[in-house]
Chains A and B, each alone.
Chain A
Amino acid sequence: MDWQAFALTLKLAATTTAILIAVAVPLAGWLVLGHSRWRRAVEAVAALPLVLPPTVLGFFLLVLLGPRTLVGRGIAVLLGHPLAFSFTGLVVGSVIYSLPFAVQPLVAGFSAVETAYVDAARLLGAGPARMVLSLLVPLARRSLIAAAILSFLHTVGEFGVVLMLGGDIPGATRTLSIVLYNQVENFDYAAAARTSAVLFALSVLALSAIYAAWRPSGVRRG
């Protein structure tokens, strides 16, 4: 078992999740509370990574944020190295790749909050930031947990983006899914079975946590 890759994968997933929650909570708040006519378009763009094949996404990032574009050169100057083949590059790729998995549950959760509460808060003079943080987030906390766990898991299982953008560098870009792929391609099926068992266990644990949060014990349906 490649524990370095295991630790790297957890670090990547945790970093990505933290950034995604910080981005997705205000974005989902704006999508639910806002009245801008750009809302639908922004919502559609935020869902795009669901449609694009991850390898294509990885390739776009490699080229668009590569040293041959203006943006890419700016990033290279800022970081001291190009985005590709670095942990930072994978974080950027993962944030884009998992964005819908953070935004969609939050939008659903925020939309389910009764409009009476929102109207009351607005009448009492709460600004949008206060409404999101003191009203929507606490009332939709299960959606927040779901968004965090889904983003985390989706990043753990990410493969195509890492394959295109990573360059398979141990400790920097070699994640568990790449290790698993390497093991399969090198005909080391026993090691591949062990790696997938770890991934499998991790996913079952996290998904059980989601469902526990979704339906707390004691509340039964039907």
Chain B
Amino acid sequence: MHAFPCNSAPRESLRRVRALSRALAITIVLLANVCRSPAQTPLRVAAAADLEPVLPPILEQFQQATGIHAEATYQASAALTTQIQNGAPFDLFLSADLGYPKRLIDAGLADAAGSADSTTPIVYARGTLVLWTRKDAHLPPPSLDLLRGSDLKRLAIANPDRAPYGRAAVAALTSLKLYDSLKPRLVTAENIAQTAQFVDSGNADAGLISLTSALTPRLSGEGTYFVIPRELYPPIEQGAVIVSKTSQRPAAHKLLDFLLSGPIQAQLAKAGLTPVK
């Protein structure tokens, strides 16, 4: 560098500092405005992974009907429960079972206020477990016999410790007395969406996935499914609760009512969930 700094250097840097501080001030003012306007805060929905193919169009219709913008995060119900327990800023929790929302109610973090019994999650749908294979998997069409036979080298299920569909899968395999023989061939996915992805990518031969995944345009084009008989596993009752510290309780209630309304329940049925009404 120069041994003798010329005079313009400090002036130059001063000008830069001024320009920078001006840009910073403008940014802060803009940010403050964004944060202040309440219309910008969306209703935050924590949704079980099986709702990922189902919920987005419903949230869009909800916005058209009410003007309320809702944003959903899709993960395994257990993961969402941990997040809510640790203060994640959700307003409404749509679980894939009743156990996790009940746990939040018991911890005083969520409630079902407004329904007949505020300590029981509101059942908004029932899930259906299906056996799904790719059409190009060189396997006989999915059936219980496929599970009984030796064709399957790898069967994907969701993690039974925390994904309600994984629990249902293990229950169904146990009812069929196949769990012990299939256990070495099971691969466990993080949630029901990843279970479908393991099979769709060809890495597992078959998977016990949600009917909601099997009915998506992508999977229904590439594979076939077999509905696991309902008497083989306890019903996958999907419960909703309102996160107690929400600042948008009326909006959360509106979305719940919307979900339970006739037309939307009919839409759920088409997407692979059994309506409750």
Contact surface of A with B, Cβ cutoff 8 Å: 62-63, 66-68, 72, 81-82, 84-85, 163-164, 167-169, 182, 184-187
Smallest distance from the beta carbon of A75 to chain B beta carbons, Å? 11
Smallest distance from the beta carbon of A173 to chain B beta carbons, Å? 8
Do most interface residues of chain A lie in helix, strand or loop, or is the interface mixed? loop
Taking A167-B156, A167-B198 as contacts, is the C-beta distance between A66 and B203 under 8 angstroms?
yes
Residues of B within 8 A of A81 (CB): 153
Residues of B within 8 A of A167 (CB): 154, 156, 187-189, 198, 204
Residues of A within 8 A of B203 (CB): 62, 66-67, 82, 84-85
Q: What is the CA–CA distance of A99 and B206 in the complex, to the nearest angstrom?
A: 33
Residues of A within 8 A of B202 (CB): 66-68, 72, 82
Taking A185-B162, A186-B162, A187-B82 as contacts, is the C-beta distance between A168 and B201 under 8 angstroms?
no
Within B202-221, which residues are at the interface with A (CB < 8 Å)?
202-204
Smallest distance from the beta carbon of B150 to chain A beta carbons, Å? 15
Judge whether A185 and B76 touch: CB under 8 Å.
yes
What 9 pairs across the A-B complex have the smallest Cβ distances?
A167-B187, A84-B203, A168-B188, A68-B202, A67-B202, A85-B187, A66-B201, A66-B202, A185-B78
Smallest distance from the beta carbon of B191 to chain A beta carbons, Å? 10
Q: Digit string of B230-260 for contact with A (CB within 8 Å is 1, else 0)?
A: 0000000000000000000000000000000
Q: What is the CA–CA distance of A169 and B159 in the complex, to the nearest angstrom?
A: 11
Q: What is the CA–CA distance of A158 and B186 in the complex, to the nearest angstrom?
A: 23
Taking A82-B203, A85-B203, A167-B156 as contacts, is the C-beta distance between A185 and B79 under 8 angstroms?
yes
Residues of A within 8 A of B71 (CB): none
Judge whether B189 and A184 touch: CB under 8 Å.
no
